[in-house]
Amino acid sequence: MTNIEHQPVVVSGAQPSGQLHLGNYLGALKNWVNIQNQGNYDCFYFVADYHSLTENYDPQEKKRQIFDLVCTYLSAGLNPEKSIIFIQSQVPECTELAWIFNTLTPLGELERMIQFKEKSQQQDKNINAGLLNYPILQAADILLYHGEFVPVGQDQIQHIELTHDTVRWFNNKYGQEYFREVKPLLTPAPKIMSLIAPENKMSKSAGDKHCLYLDDEPEIIAAKLAKAASTPAGIENLRLIYDSLRDSMTGDFNAEQMAQTKKIIADGVADYFAAFRKKKKELLRDEPSVMKIMEQGREKALPIARKTMEEVKKIVGVMN
Domains of the chain: 9-190+286-316 (3.40.50.620), 204-275 (no CATH)
pLDDT of residue 5: 56
User: Residue 37: left (phi > 0), alpha (psi -120 to 50), or beta?
Assistant: alpha
The pLDDT of residue 206 is 83
Block means of pLDDT (10 residues each) for the chain, 320 residues, are: 67 94 94 95 97 88 97 98 98 97 92 72 73 92 97 80 95 96 83 95 89 98 98 97 96 97 98 98 98 98 98 94
- Res 4: pLDDT: 45
pLDDT on residue 6: 65
Neighbours of 269 (CB within 10 A): 25
Closest CA to 145 of 70, 186, 85: 85
Strands 42-47 and 9-14: parallel
Residues listed for the chain: 320
Confidence (pTM): 0.92
Q: What is the pLDDT of residue 116?
A: 64
Put the strands of the sheet holding 42-47 in their side by side order. Answer: 83-87, 42-47, 9-14, 149-152, 183-186
C-alpha to C-alpha distance for 26 and 188, rounded to whole angstroms: 9
Burial letters 38-75, b for 16+ CB under 10 A, else e = eeebbbbbbbbbbbbebbeeeeeebeebbbbbbbbbbb
Q: Please give the pLDDT value at position 245.
A: 96
Q: What is the pLDDT of residue 159?
A: 82
Report d(CA 63, CA 75) in Å as an integer.
Answer: 18
Which of 15, 311, 11 lies closest to 134, judged by CA? 15
pLDDT value of position 216: 98
Q: What is the DSSP letter of 113?
A: -
Residue ranges with strand state E in 15-148: 42-47, 83-87
The predicted structure's pLDDT at residue 3 = 42
Q: What pLDDT score does 279 carry?
A: 98
**Beta-carbon count within 10 A of 133 CB:** 18
